[in-house]
Amino acid sequence: MCGIVGFVSSGPVIDGLIQGLKKVEYRGYDSAGVAIIEQGIIKRHRAVGPLAALMTELPPFQGTVGIGHTRWATHGRAEEKNAHPHCGKGTAVVHNGIIENFQALKKDLSFQGIQFESDTDTEVIAHLFATSEHLTNLQERVLFVLKQLKGNFAIAVLLQDCTDCIIVARKGLSPLAVGQGKEGFYVGSDLSSLSGSAQKVAFLEDETWGVLYKDQAIFYDWTGQEKHLNFYPNPLQAQETEKGDFQHFMLKEIYQQADLVRIQGLPALPAEVCQASFFTALGCGTAFYAAWVGKFFLERLAKRFLNLELASEFHYRNPILPDGVSIVVSQSGETADTLKATLYAKSQQQYVLGMINAPHSSISRQVDYLMPTGAGTEIGVASTKAFTMQVLSFLNLSLALCSDAPLRQTVLDSLKEIPSVLKDIIQRSHEFAQIAAVLSQYQSILYLGRGLHYALALEGALKMSELSYIHAQGFAAGELKHGPLALIDPQHPVVVLAPWDESFSKTLSNLHEVKARNGPIFLITDTKGAASLEGLKPEGLFMYPSLQEPLLQVFPNAICVQLLAYYTALHKGLSIDQPRNLSKSVTVE
Ligand code: F6R
């Protein structure tokens, strides 16, 4: 979602701000802006559209204190008047999150004669700072404003009365990171914005605010007591946030999987996890589908029950949870729904295990035991390597809990085959480009799979719809004749994930049912499956080498559905790393 950046230095900050904004672009946005203190006056520049639009006609700012923002519309359309920073008299504010009482505050401020120019909730913050100018003590002034704001928010503020600093504050779910570099202090909505610039970083805790100067930063709690923040070396290297020779981050991240999926050594689990017989997995979107695969692993290999829950639904129904372990799955570690679900699980005395890719994220800081998924920085909005590494983490967890030593050894042996199988698929990417050219002509695609492959069918359909804007929906192959078969005709192709396994022949029967209704079939299978098609002639076929252990077919299947979605979007000329309307880090519910 929206991205915040800020920089206070001894030299001009505009280049640093723009670099920071480029690094938060991946979060998804529809407008952007900067505000800078120029010779004691706040100057602002905003534009709708990509950063390139902001850069055209960007004034030659020379100021040494500034803030910037990429906005993903929530309150008010994507128009320049709604783009951040928002200004009041002598103030400018960038904001992530939602000010829940903004209507009431707006009414009060309007009574005082203040004119609003935007439809946003953020603008009230700027005017509250403006109306607090009578408070000459900075602490009193900031607390006067913060205490009036309800909701979750992260903000960075410029004050014309305080020309050498940026005020930062965080309440609730919206994260905010501060960085210290050779050239000054930075603020950003995540670590990406600080990569390559800050050597040391710290996250603002809930209900914390601070003042950043070029050579020091002071932090306070909501009562005004000074508090210490732990800075640690910035874990993010600049090259991780660069595309290198790849056309898109997504392609780079798909390719990286061949090196990532390998035996890592099983985790040394805490007693609470080893002894638990009831697990609940919580996640949204792709993370939820990874947990779905995890259910198979945990039940087959560790013989433990796993209850799957969509984090976005979970806490609203106040579910009853038997004693056990909740596994929260998240790439960003900032997803508001997943954070809420985590807090609910904790409130129910669950032991919380976090499978998180961003180890310093808000959710990581809440869990009892962290299993970092180790995918590295993922920039493409559509999750690829993060999914695969979540799946690998479930595999590692399940193997660590598996008491059947020969079974564990078979799986570990088969895991050694994965890197070369994934490399083989990647080398044959052009085959997906050919299938994608055909698929891109359709308005709607069904994805089918059985068992473990059903989870991948759901993930494949999600990837296809978010990237290509083609309606795509996943079904369990066995459900076909319970309804979706009515959709099948020459205009409704099916993408089928069916490598050879114990359910292959059943899926094959389903495919014959599709064929009998002239539905085009695009089959992803392995060599054994392709050799057992019994006369079925799919319109498109991709086949990868057969694996020793069918449970691990999830890895090649994952790369196949990712490449299919990637090439379909490429064929349609769409924005691959930032699909429309979507955001990498979903920090609002
Ligand atoms: C889809 C995708 C999303 C995320 C979901 C959860 O490609 O990326 O469905 O998986 O928004 O995000 P995290 O894992 O950051 O909690």
Give DSSP secondary structure letters for 157-168.
EEETTEEEEEEE
Ligand 1 atom, smallest distance to 337 CA: 16
Candidate list 214, 295, 385, 584, residue with the active-site label? 584
For residues 280 and 324, give the distance between their C-alpha atoms in angstroms, rounded to a whole number: 8
Q: What are the two backbone dihedrals, phi and then psi, of residue 188, each rounded to the nearest 5 degrees?
A: -155, 155
State whether the beta carbon of 362 lies less than 6 angstroms from ligand 1.
no
Distance of CA 416 to the CA centre of its chain: 29
Cα(405) to centroid(ligand 1), Å: 34
Tell me the CA–centroid distance for residue 422 and ligand 1, in Å: 22
Residue type at 269? L
Asked if 327 and 280 touch (Cβ cutoff 8 Å), the reply is yes
Mutate to test the pocket of ligand 1, among 26, 292, 332 (most ligand atoms within 8 A of CB): 332
Indicate if ligand 1 lies below 6 Å from the C-beta of 286: yes
Instruction: Report residue 587: phi and psi, to 5°.
Output: -95, 10
Residue among 315, 299, 390 nearest 353 (CA): 390
579 lines ligand 1 (CB under 6 A): no
Can 2 be counted among the known catalytic residues? yes
Cβ of residue 309 lying under 6 Å from some atom of ligand 1: no
How many other C-beta atoms lie within 10 A of the C-beta of residue 495?
28
Q: Closest ligand 1 atom, CA of 390? A: 14
What's the 312 CA to ligand 1 centre distance in angstroms? 12
Distance from Cα 255 to the centre of ligand 1, integer Å: 19
Task: Give this prediction's pTM.
Answer: 0.82
CB-CB contact of 146 with 169 (8 Å): yes
The sheet that has 151-159: what strands, in order across it? 86-88, 91-99, 151-159, 162-171, 208-212, 217-221, 226-227
Q: Report how far ligand 1's centroid is from the alpha carbon of 261 (Å).
A: 19
Gap between the Cα atoms of 383 and 16, Å rounded:
28
Q: Is the CB of 383 under 6 A from ligand 1?
A: yes
Shortest-distance atom of ligand 1 to CA 286 = 10
Q: What is the pLDDT along the chain (589 residues), one digit of tens a residue?
A: 689 999 999 999 999 999 999 988 877 788 999 999 999 999 999 999 989 999 998 999 999 999 999 998 877 888 999 999 999 999 999 999 889 999 999 999 999 999 999 999 999 999 999 999 888 899 999 999 999 999 989 999 999 999 999 999 999 878 899 999 999 999 999 888 887 789 999 999 899 999 999 999 999 999 999 999 989 888 776 667 788 899 999 999 999 999 999 877 899 999 999 999 999 999 999 999 999 999 999 999 999 999 999 999 998 889 999 999 999 999 999 899 999 999 999 999 999 999 999 988 889 989 999 999 999 989 899 999 999 999 999 999 999 999 999 999 999 999 999 999 999 999 999 999 999 999 999 999 999 999 999 999 999 999 999 999 999 999 999 999 899 999 999 999 999 999 999 999 999 999 999 999 999 999 999 999 999 998 899 999 999 999 999 999 999 999 999 999 999 999 999 999 988 888 777 777 7
Task: Answer yes or no: is the C-beta of 284 below 6 A from any ligand 1 atom.
Answer: yes
9 CB near ligand 1 (under 6 Å): no
Beta bridge partners of 370: 354
* Helix 554-571 with 385-400: angle, nearest 10 deg: 170
Nearest Cα to 239, choosing from 449, 120, 379? Answer: 379
Q: Which domains can be identified in the chain, with CATH numbers? A: 3-241 (3.60.20.10), 263-415 (3.40.50.10490), 418-576 (3.40.50.10490)
* Sign for the pseudo-dihedral over CA of 358, 65, 154, 146: positive
Residue 390 CB less than 6 A away from ligand 1: no
Contact 397, 535 (CB under 8 A): no
Count the helices and strands in the chain (H runs, E runs): 18, 25
CB distance 338 to ligand 1 below 6 Å: yes
Residue with CA closest to ligand 1 atom 16: 330
| Type of residue numbered 513 | E
b/e 48-75 (16+ beta carbons within 10 angstroms → b): bebbeebeeeeeebebbbbbbbbbbbee
Q: How much distance in Å is there from the Cα of 331 to the middle of ligand 1?
A: 7
Q: What distance in Å separates the CA atoms of residue 178 and residue 212, rounded to the nearest whole number?
A: 9
What's the full length of the chain, in residues? 589
Element (H, E) at 309: strand 305-310
Q: Is 584 a catalytic residue?
A: yes
Position in ligand 1 atom list of the atom nearest CA 288: 10
